[in-house]
Amino acid sequence: LSTAFRLLLPRQIYTALLEQARAELPNESCGLLAGRIDGAVGQVERCYPLVNQLASPKEYESEDRGLFNASKDMRQLGIDLLAVYHSHPTSEPVPSRRDLERNYYGSGIIHLIVSLATSGPPLRAWRLSADSFAEAEWEMCEETDEPPRPAG
């Protein structure tokens, strides 16, 4: 897998991420995005909203059952985990120190953060390492009705 793919996010999923963030106020929302990597592009195809079992406005931890069901579905569809997302109800869409400490996925995937309290874009993408982060590229795309292409 490429470690520097650009994330293509269907508008419908972008809207769903913002709606989920609002619906779960005052707490942080979280979930996974999966799809296919083709060259330098990661096309998101599925969104898996997860339960924040900490039910906290300051941190999140995805519930195991939801994670398990999402990975099972990805395996069945033959798609890969491309990104994890969570919301910041009262702060900028920038990784917190806790986000870096709890980055279990390494830098191979993208971290999206949705902010409900920013004057800038409500969604930003990042690649995290243990003690630093860098902005990642993403863009919105329109939904297509094309059947999924075979993997590989």
- Token couple for 92: 């900028």
In angstroms, give the least distance from the CB of 52 to Zn ion.
Answer: 11
Please say which residue, 74 or 83, places its beta carbon nearer to Zn ion.
83
Residue nearest to Zn ion (CB): 99
Which residues are registered as beta bridge partners of 34? Answer: 46, 81
Q: What angle do CA 135, 75, 28 make, to 5 degrees?
A: 45
In angstroms, give the least distance from the CB of 142 to Zn ion.
Answer: 29
In angstroms, give the least distance from the CB of 88 to Zn ion.
Answer: 5
Please say which residue, 81 or 114, places its beta carbon nearer to Zn ion.
114
CB 4, CB 110: distance < 8 Å: no
Residues found near Zn ion in the complex (CB under 5 A): 96, 99
CB 113, CB 87: distance < 8 Å: yes
Please say which residue, 72 or 98, places its beta carbon nearer to Zn ion.
98
